[in-house]
A and B are shown apart, each in its own frame.
Chain A
Amino acid sequence: MVKFTVEELRRIMDLKHNIRNMSVIAHVDHDSLVAAAGIIAQEVAGDIRITDTRQDEAERGITIKSTGISLYYEMTDESLMNFKGERTGNEYLINLIDSPGHVDFSSEVTAALRITDGALVVVDCVEGVCVQTETVLRQALGERIRPVLTVNKMDRCFLELQVEGEQAYQTFQRVIENANVIMATYEDPLLGDVQVYPEKGTVAFSAGLHGWAFTLTNFARMYSSKFGVDENKMMERLWGENYFDPATKKWTSKNTGSPTCKRGFVQFCYEPVKQIINICMNDQKDKLWPMLQKLGVTMKSEEKELAGKALMKRVMQTWFPASNALLEMMIFHLPSPMKAQKYRVENLYEGPLDDIYANAIRNCDPEGPLMLYVSKMIPASDKGRFFAFGRVFSGKVSTGLKVRIMGPNYVPGQKKDLYVKSVQRTVIWMGKKQESVEDVPCGNTVAMVGLDQFITKNATLTNEKEVDAHPIRAMKFSVSPVVRVAVQCKVASELPKLVEGLKRLAKSDPMVVCTMEESGEHIIAGAGELHLEICLKDLQEDFMGGAEITVSDPVVSFRETVLEKSCRMVMSKSPNKHNRLYMEARPMEDGLVEAIDEGAQTWLLTCAKEFNTLMKSKDSVVGAFQWASKEGALAEESMRAICFEVCDVVLHADAIHRGAGQIIPTARRVIYAAQLTAKPRLLEPVYLVDIQAPEQALGGIYSVLNQKRGHVFEELQRPGTPLYNIKAYLPVVESFGFSSTLRAATSGQAFPQAVFDHWDMMSSNPMELGSQSEQLVRDIRKRKGLKEEITPLSEYEDKL
């Protein structure tokens, strides 16, 4: 790889056919960053993992924040010979975003997917596609991101497992098949076939840790000259049911049964690699050098001094540099922005698909109006400021340009959530360095300075004058923030610091929600325990300058519901006694709750005799309903799946006596009375937990789940592996410390990932003294600073 300058990089940015924007999708322990680092390992001296920028990431060995880098790659004419797509010269620009694999951070992945067109899916050569990878992959395909696959950790096959050729082939075949099963469900006429095939070069085989990778193209190129066969034909022979017998020098489509007859892949790819590795490991240098010479691999003299594993690594890196194989695969098989935006425009643009903005995006038109999506905010080195990071879909963004910022709540034609501001500086990332550039044309990722005060998490930018532009569709996250903690500063006078810190935290993470309780406590809500832990660390160290904070135990929000129809019709009188409302509560019909979106969880039903009279006070009743359903009678948690029926009303004929002041408090009281008479219950949030573990760990998993009130509902063995996939429900309340308990109980073999799944009714009666729900209600009320006892029905219900 060649050293390159900002000027060079900027020049390629205009070549919209020669750009690839891609993200890396991988499971947590699948050294994704290692795979990505493999690509650039040679660019930077040594083994620095360049995307690994945070210390905690290094310690945990996982990626937490997605990081972007721009790479420059020059292809040889020879290797581009077979490239059919459009291109301008041999120089390529690859904008790569590495994102975290843990489910708690999948919001980061979502943000990364939005601004990329292709994805490198990293799967383990033995374990195959993991649950989390599957989720993200589905998400990616939903966004019309084209995938390529790399079968990673190849080194395990050769060193640790010592798998024989045919067996290895079968394993790889199954792994690829698994991935294809998922991808096949996303058949999309515009995107075309998204499945991956080794013989087409869309699958790579890599050893991220060792920094080498190959595709069948590498071998095909090598052998095509030797055999005098066309490269493409050779590729096809190197995978699938193609066998070669060196004794007869014949290709067959079936194993002839002769001991020398082997599958093409085994014969020509797997075994040569295995041989080289074995020779290196055994230090048989006398055999090694001639072989390398034959392969055209030249080693530096000092490298020849290496021995064993180090030698093997070096040799493989020189033979099959990971960067070349992976980058070439991306350049060949992932779409350029020009190509991708043609079909992605439908997913991206909210407005009519035939207006100038849609067309500009579709054609990736640098002369068109600016359309830019900011997908995340990245903390800058000067404290408190953020880069707005995103992708230019059309037009150009330049330093000093006045842009129209459309926030997530922007409605075309209105002035809500809309700002017009200037971009102070446009920046691109080159490795760890940020470089200012004059402008950035469409098809590229960009970071902008000076907009952070106007963008919370994401936004659409366009030119100042483009008042008709619609925004780019907001991202959908696959996780929701269900785990919450209350934070406060140790020293009261540092409150402004905390407030400032929380604002910054809210900005820096696509998922975290910073809110406030009625009691005045600051709340941080995250997707899971790990996510919260990282958020709190960021808050304290980066956003509050190390000021001390105290963090409460995790708080889980509950919902209030009812079990049965109210035992009787309840009535409440207005303060002036002139108005009466009669109501009943009952559980909602099955399926209705699911149908109603989270936003409006409860409906109000009216079949009152005095319908017309009631209509005059409708706003007041609805207002009271909104208020009451947000704070239920049990513990002031939101209500869910309750149907309130207004049975009858008696209203004063004179409007002055049935004003909002009379009706709102009354309606609220009668709703509470109805709820309390309908066997109120608590709903608790439940996680769906995915656990992947070997057979011997199952016992431990079951016992931990039992202890935590969880239950397993699915247990599947992964075909061809000793691994099991377990799906279980686990109450969120019990999930704190679950990961660590589980790891302890299974000596680190079980790896859980939890996402919020549903609300589950707690069977115990919260009105019954001493029951579990009653205790819970007490605790919640205490935390909220309310009277510990539930307000009695008599406070809400009146008698004639």
Chain B
Amino acid sequence: MEFQSNYEILRTAEFIRSRGVSRVALQFPDELLKDSTQVAKALRRELGNGVRLYVMADTAYGSCCVDEVGASHVDAECVVHYGHACMSPTSTLPALFVFGKAFINVNACAESLHQCLSISNKPVLVLYGLEYAHAVQDLKSTMCKLLLSSESNQKLYYSEVACSSINPSGYNIKDKEQPESHGDAIADGKVLKTLESGVTNKLESGTKYTLGGLTWITPLEHKMEDYLLFWIGSDNPAFANMVLTFNGCEIVRYDAEDCKLLNDFSHQKRILKRRYFLVEKAKDANIIGILVGTLGVAGYLHIIQQMKELIERDGKKSYTIVMGRPNPAKLANFPECDVFVYVSCAQTALLDSKEFLAPVITPFEAVLAFTRGRQWTGEYIMDFQNLMTSDTGEIVDDNEGARFSFLKGCYVEDLQPHENNGDQLERSLALAEMTEKALNVRNQSTDTVLFKGTARSGAEYLAARSYQGLSMQYENAPLQSYVVGRTGRASGYENEKE
């Protein structure tokens, strides 16, 4: 029975039946794979043989996103996603989310919350990891009892789970937890309004926030900074997402596993500073690799396009790379890239490691870095969908003047955006200019091109490399006798074993 409720077998069956679909993909994260056969069996028992179920075991990207590409390999018509989810909107397939139900001691949690309320003079907003959503109702009633004896509970607000299923953008969403429907549609990829991301909507009653599947409404006169955020859950990407997005707020975290209240987030603050550094570093970049980190989140093509345009406008060169989940070895295969922009869902976007040769930044950071005259005021947007809606037109054109590089500690000259709207006169000079440039390339020492990041394109970088791959000229190659290569496994060839 425990199993049944944890995996919400009945609700899932209901969802599948109501859609009338016949091919369903079940997506499990690695840690839940062990239960996958049981879940599939239980579902089949409910649904009968009319519905074909597929278990998707591995995803190329973060397991929090719906793997639409994987699902379409089996022509699935809908996806059931298990485990932690980032609730990013899908682009083609409807999806149902089963968060699972993590154990929580509601009384202990309520105690901590109560303690917070009594200390803080700010109103408290309760946010939680989706795996704890099942306990919120309990928590509410417990708190009611607790507060009844003391003062009014005016100061306490709860966030709601926005929905537990997603229709691909373009459909309307109907969910019993979310009676009011929001029109969200891709109108030819131009304007995009979505529901499932940290969009702030002004409603008559107040400001509505949504973040990582949670939603809440605050009175109009309140800012987020006026709240104390009370997070129930572990220190996971969802939490990091929340901390960075509301980096101006006071935040406490209740760890349900240890039943402890934590309020030291210097680590998170440090991350924010580190991101700031990466943005500054990105400003010095000439060649940018755009990493496709998702094939599922709606609008990813649009944001990639937007990134390309942004980079080109700033006079830099971009390359788009699809490499699944990035790791140091994969990224180091592109040493010509000075920085990578990782287009992915909000919760896998933050990639930082000492091992990376070049920094990896989010699209929001890319906008900061590659828009001249734009400064970081502390606001942070993790979700690229917000970026698409929020960021148009407010580009300050400040092409005058040299840019100050905080990494080099001096003013640097940026490459001028490629002028392609020049008149006839300039066109006639274009060839001469190109030749001049080509000559310059040779003047530059290869060391600065290779190691100081002065290359302007991959071709220039290649030209500077000392080894450029196998030569294709075989005509006069002297004959060589063949030799027997090594045998054995890479971890230790035969001839190396003592």
Tell me the A residues contacting B by CB distance below 8 Å. 407-408, 411, 413-419, 453-457, 492-493, 495-496, 499, 502-503, 506, 513-522, 525, 573-578, 615-620, 622-623, 626-627, 652-653, 655, 659-665, 785-786, 800
Q: Is B275 close to A, CB under 8 A?
A: yes
Would you give the shortest CB distance from A660 to chain B, in whole angstroms? 5
Inter-chain CA distance A520–B466, complex, in Å, is 34
Q: Cβ of A517: which chain B residues have Cβ within 8 Å of it? A: 277
**Contact indicator B277/A515 (Cβ below 8 Å):** no
Q: Could you tell me if A665 and B332 are in contact, using CB atoms closer than 8 angstroms?
A: yes
Indicate which residue in B276, B400, B411, B467 contacts A456 across the interface (CB closer than 8 Å): B411
A786 to B270, CA, bound (A): 11
Partner of B378, one of A492, A506, A617, A622: A492
Which residue of chain A has its CB nearest to the CB of B400?
A: A453
Of residues 320 to 344 in B, which have CB atoms within 8 Å of A's CB atoms? 328-335
Return chain A residues, CB-CB under 8 Å to B402.
407, 419, 453-454, 456
Asked whether, in the complex, the Cβ of B375 is within 8 Å of the Cβ of A499, the reply is: yes
B476 at the interface (CB under 8 A from A): no
Chain A's nearest CB lies how many Å from the CB of B359? 10
Whole-angstrom CA separation of A626 from B450 in the bound complex: 10
Q: Is B408 an interface residue (CB 8 A)?
A: yes
User: Does residue B248 face the partner (Cβ distance < 8 Å to A)?
Assistant: yes
Which residues of the partner chain B approach A577 to less than 8 Å between Cβ atoms? 490-491
Q: Which residues in A have their C-beta under 8 angstroms from that of B334?
A: 660-661
Complex CA gap A400/B338 in Å reads 39
Decide if B451 is an interface residue (CB 8 Å cutoff).
Answer: yes
Q: Do A413 and B443 contact each other (CB < 8 Å), given the known contacts A419-B402, A522-B406, A664-B332?
A: yes
Beyond known contacts A407-B402, A499-B375: 7 more, CB 8 A cutoff: A407-B413, A514-B409, A517-B277, A519-B270, A520-B276, A660-B335, A661-B332
Taking the closest CB of chain A, its distance from the CB of B457, in whole angstroms, is 16
Closest to B357 in A: A664
Cα A345 to Cα B75 with chains together (Å): 79
Q: Are B470 and A519 in contact (CB under 8 A)?
A: no
Evaluate contact between B496 and A800: CB separation under 8 angstroms.
Answer: yes
- Complex alpha-carbon distance, A635 and B438, angstroms: 41
Beyond A493-B377, A623-B451, whether A618 also contacts B466 by CB under 8 A is yes
Across-interface contacts of B331 in A (CB, < 8 A):
661
What are 23 A-B pairs at a CB distance below 8 A? A417-B412, A417-B413, A418-B413, A456-B411, A493-B248, A495-B376, A496-B375, A506-B409, A506-B410, A519-B270, A519-B274, A520-B272, A521-B273, A525-B409, A616-B467, A619-B466, A652-B490, A655-B469, A659-B333, A660-B332, A664-B332, A665-B332, A785-B274
Kindly state the separation between the CA atoms of A513 and B492 in the bound complex, as whole angstroms: 50
Contacting residues, chain A, for B335 (C-beta < 8 A): 619-620, 623, 660, 664
- Cα-based distance from A660 to B412 in the complex (angstroms): 28
Instruction: Evaluate contact between B450 and A622: CB separation under 8 angstroms.
Output: yes
Q: Are B270 and A515 in contact (CB under 8 A)?
A: no
Question: In the complex, which of the residues A492, A503, A573 contacts B404, with contact meaning CB atoms closer than 8 Å?
Answer: A503
Contacts of A495 in B (CB 8 A): 375-378
Chain A min CB distance to B491 (Å): 5
A519 touches B443 (CB 8 A): no
* Residue pair A502, B277 in contact (C-beta under 8 Å): no
Q: Is the CB of A516 within 8 A of B332?
A: no
- A407 near B411 (CB under 8 angstroms)? yes
Q: How far is the CB of B38 from chain A (nearest CB, A)?
A: 35
Once bound together, how far apart are the Cα atoms of A786 and B353, in whole Å? 11
The winner among B277, B404, B443, B496 for most chain A CB atoms within 10 A is: B404
A515 contact from B375, B409, B450, Cβ within 8 A:
B409
With the chains together, A415 CA to B465 CA distance in Å?
23
Complex Cα gap A453–B29 (Å): 53
Asked if A623 contacts B404 (CB within 8 A), the reply is: no
Question: Which of the residues A414, A457, A615 comes within 8 Å of B440, measured between beta carbons?
Answer: A414
CB distance from B46 to the nearest CB of A (A): 44
In the complex, B401 has a CB within 8 A of chain A: yes
Residue of A nearest to B437 (CB): A415
A516 near B280 with CB under 8 A, answer yes
Q: Given A655-B470, A664-B332, are A619 and B404 also a contact pair (CB < 8 Å)?
A: no
Q: Is B391 engaged at the interface, CB distance under 8 Å to the other chain?
A: no
Distance to closest chain B CB from A323 (angstroms) = 40
Indicate if the CB atoms of A456 and B273 lie closer than 8 Å: no
Closest to A517 in B: B277
Contacts of B465 in A (CB 8 A): 619
Q: B residues within 8 A CB of A411? A: 443
Check A493–B277 contact: CB distance below 8 A. no
Whether A615 contacts B466 by the Cβ 8 Å rule is yes
Contact yes or no, B273 A519, CB < 8 A: yes
Cross-chain contact A518 with B440 (CB below 8 angstroms)? no
Per the bound structure, the CA–CA distance linking A622 and B357 in Å amounts to: 13
Q: Are B467 and A618 in contact (CB under 8 A)?
A: yes
Would you call B467 and A665 a contact (CB within 8 A)?
Answer: no
**Beta-carbon nearest neighbor of A600 in chain B:** B447
Residues of B within 8 A of A492 (CB): 247-248, 378
User: From B374, which residue of chain A is reached at the shortest CB distance?
Assistant: A496
B407 at the interface (CB under 8 A from A): yes
Closest to B401 in A: A453
Closest to B440 in A: A414
| B485 interface residue per 8 A CB criterion | yes
> How far, in whole Å, are A623 and B466 apart by their CA atoms in the complex?
12
Q: What mask results when residues 371 to 415 of chain B are scored 1 for a CB within 8 Å of chain A, else 0?
A: 000011110000000000000000000001110101111111100
CA distance A616 to B469 in the complex (A): 8
Shortest A621–chain B CB gap in Å is 11
Contact between chains at B274 and A520 (CB < 8 Å)? yes
Q: What residue in chain B is nearest A574 (Cβ atoms)?
A: B329
Chain A min CB distance to B288 (Å): 17
CB contact list, B433-469 vs A, under 8 A = 440, 443, 450-451, 465-467, 469
Q: Is there a chain A Cβ closer than 8 Å to B30's Cβ?
A: no
Of the listed residues A456, A574, A618, the one surrounded by the most CB atoms of chain B closer than 10 A to its CB is A456
The CA-CA distance from A578 to B273 in the complex, in Å, is 38
> Do the beta carbons of A653 and B485 come within 8 Å of each other?
yes
- A665 and B492 within 8 A (CB): no
Partner of A578, one of B357, B401, B412, B490: B490
Q: How far is the CB of A561 from chain B (nearest CB, A)?
A: 21
Expressed in whole angstroms, the minimum distance between the Cβ of B488 and any Cβ of chain A is: 11
Question: Which one of B247, B467, B490 contacts A576 once the chains associate, using CB atoms below 8 Å?
Answer: B490
Taking a contact as CB atoms closer than 8 A, the residue among A525, A626, A665 that contacts B329 in the complex is A665
Contacting residues, chain A, for B35 (C-beta < 8 A): none
- From 242 to 282 in chain B, residues with beta carbon under 8 angstroms from any chain A beta carbon are 247-248, 270, 272-277, 280
Residues of chain A within 8 A (CB-CB) of B273 are: 519-521
Residue B355 at the A interface, CB < 8 A? yes
Question: How many Å from the CB of A457 to the closest CB on chain B?
Answer: 8
Are A520 and B275 touching (Cβ within 8 A)? yes
Within the complex, what minimum Cβ distance (angstroms) separates B396 from chain A? Answer: 12
User: Which has the most chain B C-beta neighbours within 10 Å: A418, A520, A577, A664?
Assistant: A520
**Cβ distance A477 to chain B, nearest Cβ, rounded Å:** 14
Q: Which 6 pairs from chain A and chain B are nearest by CB?
A: A520-B273, A453-B401, A661-B333, A520-B277, A661-B332, A456-B411
Q: For residue B490, which residue of chain A has the nearest CB?
A: A577
CA distance in complex: A576, B333 (Å): 13
| Residues in B whose Cβ lies below 8 Å from that of A660 | 332-335
**Chain B contacts for A457, CB-based, 8 A:** 410
Q: Which residues of A contact B330 (CB under 8 A)?
A: 661
B277 engages A519 (CB within 8 Å): yes
B270 touches A785 (CB 8 A): yes
Distance of B352 from chain A, by nearest CB (Å):
11
Q: CA–CA, A457 to B408, complex, Å?
A: 14
Q: Kindly provide the distance from the CB of B417 to the nearest chain A CB, expressed in whole angstroms.
A: 14
Tell whether, in the assembled complex, residue A502 and residue B406 are in contact, meaning their CB atoms are under 8 Å apart. Answer: yes
**Residues of chain A with a CB closer than 8 A to B378's CB:** 492-493, 495
Q: Write out the residue numbers on chain B whose beta carbons fall within 8 Å of the beta carbon of A521.
A: 273
Collect the chain B residues with CB atoms within 8 Å of residue A786's CB.
354
B304 to chain A: closest CB distance in Å? Answer: 22
CA gap between A525 and B272 in the complex, in Å: 23
Contact A619 B270 (CB under 8 A): no
**Which chain A residue lies CB-closest to B450?**
A619
CA distance A414 to B448 in the complex (A): 15
